[in-house]
Structure 1
Amino acid sequence: MPELPEVETSRRGIAPHIVGETLLHAVVRHPQLRWPVSEEIYQLSDETVLSLERRAKYLLLELKHGWIIIHLGMSGRLRILSEDTPPEKHDHVDLVFSNGKTLRYTDPRRFGAWLWETDLTQSRVLRHLGPEPLSEAFNAEWLIQKSVTKKIAIKPWLMDNKLVVGVGNIYASESLFQAGIHPDRPANGLSHLESERLVASIKAVLQRSIEQGGTTLRDFLQSDGKPGYFAQQLNVYGRAGEPCLHCGTPIMSGRHAQRSTYWCPSCQH
């Protein structure tokens, strides 16, 4: 599943091609994704794209009278193509622009979303989200405040979007490793110093991933069709049994909430 860095990489790659351009119309080939494609999207015509933003793993395309909210789901991707590029089997939605380019949404599993909202504060998919991990609102004080009553293991807790958005499975494992914190530790057992270290690690891991193009996953490609490159620098994720790059101890693996977890038993306590 594309995570926050992959979505931000897509936003940065796509924005220069569509912001300020005129959206002529939308082509919806498959109306049923995770939810039905919003009817308002079918009716779009001659609209100028004012901005392309990101909130958590949602892309927000701003028009004069509202927003298109796009989620890539498990296997979705967006590409900028020439408007005469023939669609293929899993190409479900096109936005056609006056500059001869098309923003095409491809999704083999059809678990993404294309929704319309006139007021983002009222959006059912956005209004309950926690702070952005790279914002000042996500800090050690916030983490401690939210952890007081939480006896859950720290790793799945970090993946709760009500706590902080965009810390997916890979980045939770990598951030905990960088912070030296064992993924089984109860959330309410973190000291203030550990919380500061963990917040700093999350920000650093995500920022580095964004800068390097996102994690290379089987289903993810950037808007120009090239894979990301961050997977080459993963410290623990997917490396069970391999030596820790810091101390040489074999990396361990387990599961939290049906998700794979990786850690170094020597570096993380």
Structure 2
Amino acid sequence: MLIDTHCHLDATEFDADREMVWQAALQAGVRAVVIPAVTAETFQPIMQWCAQHPQAGFALGWHPMYIEQAPEDALLQLEQTIKAVLAGPQAHQLLAIGEIGLDFYLSREHEAKQLVLFEGQLQIAKQFDVPVILHVRGAIDSILKYLRKHQLRGGIAHAFNGSLQQAGIFCDLGFKLGFGGAMTWPRALKIRQLAAEIGLESLVLETDAPDIPPVWLGHQGRNSPDQLKKIAEEMSSIRRIEISQIIEITGKNSLQVLPKIAHLCT
């Protein structure tokens, strides 16, 4: 089952042709797409769009790169929204808390606020017993520290680019690891090695569209969910196994870690 576990289909890059992009993904064999929010302002637009597209599910949360936009009551807003959604008709489409995490790649200027917001969102995920979708750029060890502390039901480490040891810790904590366009670039030796060596039972596919385009789109290309099958083909080439196995096993992994996806694929 071909599942895009991370796609920002609500991004402005898709405003002109979002429905065409969606239909192209379905025609390319994508069975379900996970759309993670990045700020509270994106919650309602994402949910409204998903309400009209039953094969789309969403995650709600504050992305660490938008930390400066988060109001003082950001955690309360998120908690109240999650509670309302779980009591309503779209409960089956709320797949996770996300995209949340830490980002220390460029700067640690807002580290303290990032940590407060991250830990608060982990607590909300634990309160409602839902998985999390993690942004882990430049901050894996810090993230693992908080995951050990809070002992969640698991989730996905999106765009994983850590070590094999860190991969093992994520997996021990109930997480799957997201791989997408980055591994298609021949010079991305570390990511390609990870894609080859991490157990297939720990991997899920993603596009992160419109970002992280695969090599055939070029660095400035707009990524989209219809590219997922070609990304799966690249993983099958790297691992030297049939693409049917990649699609089957990563699909099962996605259902295992985000169980409500099953409602989207019926």
Higher strand share: 1
> Radius of gyration: which is bigger?
1
The higher-RCO structure (CA 8 Å, 6+ apart) is 2
TM-score by length of 2: 0.32
Higher helix share: 2
TM-score by length of 1: 0.32
